[in-house]
């Protein structure tokens, strides 16, 4: 399973927005549109390379030759960074809450 970042495809350009009907969501909708404007056309990933790598992963050739393919593999610089950040956050939680986590074990 690949964990992709953003790749240059036409996927984002096909997004259709409905008119804002509820003022409550105006700030959210503006944020989404701003995000889309900053991403569309600026995606760092090359979709053709990603597909090539995915084929290699399935076949065990090219970039995957001689390697054990993991269950999850990030593709793209931004995808890699998001996963690294999430892992660091989870390690921090494990460190801070270790005693609570262990506290549920059956005492021997």
d(CA 68, CA 57): 9
pLDDT at 48: 95
pLDDT at 26: 80
Residues of the chain with pLDDT under 50: none
pLDDT at 31: 81
pLDDT at 23: 80
1 touches 69 (CB < 8 A): no
Q: What token pair was written down for 103?
A: 């506290």
pLDDT at 20: 73
Query: Which DSSP state fits 40?
Result: T
Domain borders along the chain are: 2-102
d(CA 87, CA 90): 5
């Amino acid at each position: 399973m690949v964990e992709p970042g953003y790749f240059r495809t036409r996927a984002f350009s096909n997004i259709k927005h409905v008119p804002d009907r509820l003022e409550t969501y105006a700030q959210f909708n503006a944020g989404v549109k701003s995000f889309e404007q900053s991403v569309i056309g600026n995606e760092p990933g090359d979709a053709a390379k990603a597909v090539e790598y995915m084929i290699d992963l399935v076949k065990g050739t090219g970039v995957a030759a001689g390697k054990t393919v993991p269950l999850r593999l990030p593709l793209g610089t931004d995808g890699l960074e998001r996963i690294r950040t999430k892992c660091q956050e989870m390690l921090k939680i494990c460190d801070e809450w270790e005693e609570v986590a262990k506290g549920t074990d059956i005492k021997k």
